[in-house]
């Protein structure tokens, strides 16, 4: 089994913010695959065959709590997950897949690293930057997308379907080679 995890915050006030990019991208995948969600693991959870989907309701800073519940229940290893999240240091419309690394200032990733006890797990970073010089990073990521940016994020979600399929069938290295680029 494998799991695709989108990071975000569950409140409606955060729905269209940059920090909810993981939720927004995974929502497009779920719609395309017609996956129904239920409440489980302190998350919105879906299962389709051997593929699990998770949108933690624990809020960003405690994302690791939901992720570890899922992993323990299904006996997943850190190599069985792909985490999708926003990255304000990467140009908008760009994907970056990684196998490991620091949390890079992202508290959702920090929480997952802390709960797993390792920084080795696959990630799909979705570029939402750059942050303007006169803006605090918190204000930027908690700000809403413009209508055109939101449409582009939805398009990125459709491309992310291909990324997930490649990750599942060919592994992270192949996905990196094909999709570490500006996609929108």
Name the residues annotated as catalytic.
Answer: 19
pLDDT in tens, 29-41: 999 999 999 999 9
Q: What is the mean pLDDT of residues 134-163?
A: 96
Q: What per-residue confidence (pLDDT) applies to 159?
A: 98
The whole-angstrom separation of Cα 172 and Cα 100 is: 11
Confidence of residue 132 (pLDDT cuts 50, 70, 90): confident
Q: Looking at the predicted structure, is the pLDDT value of residue 133 above 90?
A: no
Contact criterion met (CB below 8 Å) for 175 and 166: yes
Per CATH, the homologous superfamily of domain 2-179 is: Peptidyl-tRNA hydrolase (3.40.50.1470)
In order of 77, 85, 122, 125, 157, the CA distances from 176 in angstroms are 20, 16, 10, 11, 17
């Amino acid at each position: 089994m494998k799991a695709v995890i989108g990071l975000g915050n569950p409140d409606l006030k955060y729905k269209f913010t940059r920090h909810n990019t993981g939720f927004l991208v995974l929502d497009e995948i779920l719609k395309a695959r017609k996956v129904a969600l239920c409440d489980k693991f302190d998350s919105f959870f879906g299962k389709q065959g051997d593929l699990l989907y998770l949108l933690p309701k624990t809020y960003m800073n405690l994302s690791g709590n939901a992720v570890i519940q899922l992993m323990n229940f299904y006996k997943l290893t850190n190599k069985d997950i792909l985490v999708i999240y926003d990255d304000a240091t990467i140009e908008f419309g760009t994907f970056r897949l990684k196998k490991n690394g620091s949390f890079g200032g992202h508290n959702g990733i920090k929480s997952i690293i802390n709960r797993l006890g390792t920084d080795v797990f696959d990630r799909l970073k979705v570029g939402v930057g750059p942050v303007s010089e006169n803006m605090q990073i918190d204000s930027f990521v908690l700000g809403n997308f413009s209508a055109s940016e939101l449409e582009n994020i939805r398009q990125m979600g459709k491309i992310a379907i291909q990324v997930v399929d490649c990750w599942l069938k060919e592994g992270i290295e192949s996905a990196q080679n094909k999709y570490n680029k500006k996609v929108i």
